[in-house]
């Protein structure tokens, strides 16, 4: 049986990008694989959240994982900071991670641009912490969006280097994985290439958004003046809307509007109305569950407790073995 692992930083509510990048079909997955899903709250410290925000956001992601269908009995759902073995493995991996390769990482370069006042060492070593998350359970498959591809490549690098250094075949090579065929990058609604929490007003559709909010955001989505030549290539902003339709709407709906575009008969207003209807229908079951689960304190804390115990057991085993490989021995 393969081990599947995925994580989400607790920086706010989950959006459709998170869902299609890391979660779609995971309900099915948890029936056939050994699945770990966690909340990367150590990672979120790189942007210095306040204690109040941190706890609330961790709880929100926990609730939303459960609402999206994660079964805490079948999968292991846990909070990264409750499994301190992760931090220990991070320490070991940092000894074999080189400054040059960390500095070349695209996400580090992006962060330097985004927060020049806070270029901390945690940002630089973000990929080693992510590698520790994955290697601590010796995961084979990592469901992620396209933006995490380079981090996965670095994880393989660090795992292989550890194996070579100690002449063992201990860590497997984890592969990035999407439940569809290819890794996805879900675009935003405001013309930006990526749906994300910090990509500006109206960019993201959150799983918890009320129908009216979704409708407003979708109707405001950026479009252009419309095609003038048959089968004209779609500009990026139009591609975005079509791509969003592809993930939430029926294939016939997508094909219909595609045909309308190709024959220059498209009315973007109609397309957006349909997209909003389909997004509302898609998120509906989760929206209701988010409210119900959020109100059930006992269920939430019980889920966190079960997950903590299962994750701890697996992580402690890895740390015991890694310590032995490195050469730490009790006296």
- Cβ neighbors of 146 (< 8 A, separation 6 or more) are 21, 183, 184, 185
Nearest distance in Å: CB 16, ligand TYM: 8
Give me 43's structure tokens. Answer: 């990672």
Nearest distance in Å: CB 137, ligand TYM: 10
Q: What is the rounded CA–CA span in Å between residue 58 and residue 12?
A: 8
Residue 186 within binding range of ligand TYM, rule CB under 6 A: yes
Residue among 74, 185, 197, 273 flagged as catalytic = 197
Q: Long-range contacts for 243-249 (Cβ within 8 Å, ≥24 apart)?
A: 243/186, 243/187, 244/16, 244/186, 244/187, 244/189, 244/275, 244/279, 245/271, 245/274, 245/275, 245/278, 247/16, 247/20, 247/184, 247/186, 248/16, 248/275, 248/278, 248/279, 248/282, 249/274, 249/275, 249/278
Residue 144 within binding range of ligand TYM, rule CB under 6 A: yes
| Other beta carbons within 10 Å of 313 | 11
Within 90-129, which residues bind ligand TYM (CB under 6 A)?
none
Which CB atom, from 144 or from 304, has the smaller least distance to ligand TYM?
144
Site for ligand TYM (CB under 6 A): which residue of 135, 184, 218, 315?
184
Q: What is the rounded CA–CA span in Å between residue 273 and residue 3?
A: 41
Nearest distance in Å: CB 147, ligand TYM: 5
Q: Which range, of 13-21, 48-56, 250-258, 283-291, touches ligand TYM by CB under 6 A?
A: 13-21
Residue among 74, 194, 234, 246 flagged as catalytic = 194
Which CB atom, from 60 or from 266, has the smaller least distance to ligand TYM?
60
* Size of residue set near ligand TYM by CB under 6 A: 26
Nearest to 37 by CA among 285, 297, 310, 301: 310
Within 193-252, which residues bind ligand TYM (CB under 6 A)?
194-196
The DSSP line for 110-129 is HHHHH-TT---HHHHTHHHH
Which CB atom, from 22 or from 241, has the smaller least distance to ligand TYM?
22
Site for ligand TYM (CB under 6 A): which residue of 147, 166, 223, 256?
147
According to DSSP, residue 45 is labeled: G
Site for ligand TYM (CB under 6 A): which residue of 4, 29, 39, 40?
40
Which CB atom, from 144 or from 266, has the smaller least distance to ligand TYM?
144
The residues that touch ligand TYM, with contacts defined as CB under 6 A, are 5-9, 17-18, 20-22, 40, 43, 130, 133-134, 142, 144-145, 147-148, 184-186, 194-196
Residues noted as catalytic: 111, 194, 197
């Amino acid at each position: 049986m393969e081990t599947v692992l995925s994580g989400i930083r607790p920086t706010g509510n989950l959006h459709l990008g998170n869902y299609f990048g890391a979660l779609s079909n995971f309900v099915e997955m948890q029936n056939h694989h050994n699945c770990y899903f966690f909340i990367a709250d150590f990672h979120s410290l790189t942007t210095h959240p306040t204690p109040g925000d941190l706890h609330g956001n961790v709880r929100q992601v926990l609730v939303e994982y459960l609402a999206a269908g994660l079964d805490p009995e079948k999968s292991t759902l846990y909070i990264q900071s409750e499994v301190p073995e992760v931090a220990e493995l991070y320490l070991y991996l940092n000894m074999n991670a080189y400054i040059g390769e960390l500095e070349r990482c695209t996400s580090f370069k992006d962060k330097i641009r985004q927060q020049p006042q806070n270029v901390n060492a945690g940002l630089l070593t973000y990929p080693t912490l992510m590698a520790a998350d994955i290697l601590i359970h010796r995961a084979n498959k990592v469901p992620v969006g396209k933006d995490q591809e380079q981090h996965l490549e670095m994880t393989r690098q660090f795992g292989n280097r550890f194996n070579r250094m100690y002449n063992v075949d201990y860590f497997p090579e984890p592969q990035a994985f999407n439940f569809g065929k290819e890794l996805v990058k879900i675009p935003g609604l405001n013309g930006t290439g990526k749906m994300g929490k910090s990509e500006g007003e109206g960019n993201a559709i959150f799983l918890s958004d009320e129908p009216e909010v979704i409708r407003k955001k979708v109707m405001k989505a950026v479009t252009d003046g419309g095609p003038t030549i048959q089968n004209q290539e779609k500009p990026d902003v139009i591609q975005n809307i079509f791509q969003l339709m592809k993930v939430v709407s029926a294939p016939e709906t997508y094909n219909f509007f595609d045909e309308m575009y190709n024959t220059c008969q498209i009315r973007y207003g109609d397309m957006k109305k349909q997209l909003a209807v389909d997004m509302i229908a898609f998120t509906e079951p989760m929206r209701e569950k988010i409210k119900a689960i959020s109100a059930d304190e006992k269920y939430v804390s019980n889920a966190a407790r079960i997950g903590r115990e299962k994750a701890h057991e697996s992580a402690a085993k890895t740390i015991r073995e890694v310590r032995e490989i490195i050469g730490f021995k009790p006296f």
